Amino acid sequence: MIVRHFLLLLTVFLFLSVANIPVYSQTIVGEFGNYKITLDEFEYAYAKNVGGWEVAEEDSFSQYEDFMDLYMKFRMKLRNAQVRSFDTDPELQKELEDYQRQVGEAYIIEKYIIQPGVKDLYEQRKVELRVSHIMIRSNEDGDDAAFEKANAIIDSIKDGASFEEMAEKYSDDQFSGPKGGDIFYVTAGVLPYEFDNAMYTLQAGEVYPEPVKTNYGYHLIKITERQARTPKVKASHILISYFDVKGEVDSAAAKLTADTVLIKLNEGESFESLVEQYSDDSATKVKDGDLGFIERRQMVQAFDEIAFNLNVGEMSGLVQTNFGYHIIKLTDRQQYPSFESEKDDLKKIYQKQRYQADYDGYIDSLKSKYNYVLDETTVDLIIENCDSSRFGIDYPNPDAIANKTLFTYVGKTISAQEYINETNNNSDFMNKPIFLKTEVMKAVNKLAEEKLIEHQAMNLQKEDPNYASLMDEYRNGVYIFKLQEDEVWNQLDIDSVKIYSYWEEHKEDFALPDRVAFGEIYSMEDSLIQKYHKWIQEGADFDSLAVLYTERPGKKKDKGRYELQDVDFSDLSRKANTIENTGDFTEPFPFSGGYAFFKLYQIEPSRLKTFDESRAEVSGIVQEMESKRLEKEYLDILNNIYKPAIFYDELHKAFKPTEQD
């Protein structure tokens, strides 16, 4: 009951914040002691609690009244927490700092990295680009040689050389090179993020001014078209295959048939009837040729290019692909979806393609903001004195790195020994060699990231009002919890005498309903259940059959048995309750999507519970009663101190248009 009471308080109050409330009106709707509650404060708190202003406007005045009563108590308690100096209580402040560290990183990553990154991705994906590229891979001559080659090519293009000719001559992309570098239409999230970032800066006809490096090599990028994106189109088609009835290629016959179909379409015959007569696509023939919605690059390029350029209701001419000749009819075109409908899928794309780069960029911004400086000589010293050691065990030469600074930020110093200690406790680096600089630097960077984000989290309230409000909300919740603990929960004195006395007075309120205990054998097959039932009639043991054959999940181990339960507990207990005598069986019958029969083991009529059977329930009731009594006594004290008053006439103005409106 205590937990339930606390959850109720949290539901009403945890997400309220009386800090940072915009003050537009001085209309007073309540006061306690020397403190006042304005109409604006009430509206802000109420709207936040119910999920928004529009929801709040639809609520009734009685709901406003109820909330105002609770809010007044909440404000008095917070004032009492201030009087008790909770804001200087070391234990409470430690809890608040720990929470700030825990929630801070998640808040920062979500708000400052993921949210803007996903939104940018959404905006970019409104546009599709037709892209060409020249790719230069690194080879035995190394990365520098590949970069120099890419630079030389782009210099030639700047001097007037044809991008397409250079792609045919030099590109290491064997697919697009022969086509002048064309990789067709793409949108954000398809290609590596470095490529994305470059191509979206260009307009049609422009070439990115420098090579772009990805995991595949160096790319020279040109945009040939830039247009609003249609995510999907719905198309139907008639396919005339190259293969004749013998399975041999006869492209001339296919062309002749396709021309015939096209003539019939132009003469007015219906697309659907011609699909039925001529289409060789067996999968779509039964659906009037319908392919459903298709995305860019889902179909072969020749088909894709025509389909996405048709208007709804329009039909193409003959479109030749590797499969044969197609006549395409566009039946629908999908509009660009809302951000909310796409958000989950966008997050997945973002996490996979862009998150790490954006995270690294954010960390770099913190390094600059907080003057992060790494001492490379200390890194070398750690490696030189490690004696081939690994993380996770004591560093062999602590004196050699004693008092050595590894890095500093915003006036704080992280020593080499502190770095060793923290990394030894990080499971990601357990048993990684300290004698390898790459591993040492991974651990250094990880620790630096953690320290910088932690520092940002601990100071973010100064920069981010929403974050400050979140911290205020949690602080208020902690203070309310502490008050409840001091004034109610720690004061509870529930002994067995009180519990027994309450039971004696109210024993008629604690009764058990009619109950049954029964067994069931269940099968998905009617023939099987009939066979099992026949065996029972011939004297087979019910428990033995249930262990072997019942198909009710999890019930073989229980021999199909259900212990005493309310006759109205389930369809099973209700069915068992129709059996008149213990030991009797039902006939087989359809049940729960299969077939079953039941055996009745026990019937127990309704009766009053014993004290032992009622103890837990009675204890909870007594505890809740005592909690309410103590809560009322505490509120009576606050009411006596602060003399609260609520001005319901003024509260009637809540969420109503003002004269200025």
CATH number of the structural domain 511-607: 3.10.50.40
CA distances from 375 to 368, 409, 417, 434, 604 (A): 16, 12, 14, 17, 80
CB-based contact 147:218 (threshold 8 Å): yes
If one counts every other C-beta atom within 10 angstroms of the C-beta of residue 554, the result is 7
Query: To 10 degrees, the CA torsion angle through 170, 173, 177, 182?
Result: -130
Q: For 337-348, how does the pLDDT look when each residue is reduced to its tens digit (9 = 90+)?
A: 999 999 999 999
Q: Residue 35 forms beta bridges with which residues?
A: 32
CA–CA dist 577, 566 (Å, integer): 10
Q: How many CB atoms lie within 10 A of CB 590?
A: 10
Strand partners, 645: 31
The percent helix, strand, coil of the chain (3-state, each to 5) is 50, 20, 30
CATH number of the structural domain 232-333: 3.10.50.40
Per-domain residue ranges of the chain: 1-83+488-506+609-661, 127-228, 232-333, 511-607
Judge if 127-228 and 232-333 fold alike in CATH terms. Answer: yes
What is the predicted pLDDT for the residue at 275?
Answer: 96
State the first-to-last Cα distance of the chain, in angstroms, to the nearest integer.
Answer: 46
121 and 349 Cβ atoms separated by less than 8 Å: yes
CATH code that applies to domain 127-228: 3.10.50.40
Low-confidence stretches of the chain (pLDDT < 70) are 1-25, 658-661
For the beta sheet containing 405-409, the strands, ordered from the edge strand earlier in sequence to the opposite edge, are: 373-374, 405-409, 412-415
Among candidates 104, 115, 187, 190, which has minimal Cα distance to 355? 115
Cα 143 from Cα 121, distance rounded (Å)? 30
DSSP 477-529: HHHHHHHHHHHTGGG----HHHHHHHHHHHGGG-EE--EEEEEEEEES-HHHH
Give 395-413 as a DSSP string: -S-HHHHTT-EEEEETTEE
- Secondary structure class of 640 (helix, strand, coil): helix
Residue 410, sorted as left (phi over 0), alpha (psi -120 to 50) or beta, turns out to be left
Cβ atoms 372, 412 nearer than 8 A: no
- The secondary structure of residue 110, as a DSSP letter, is I
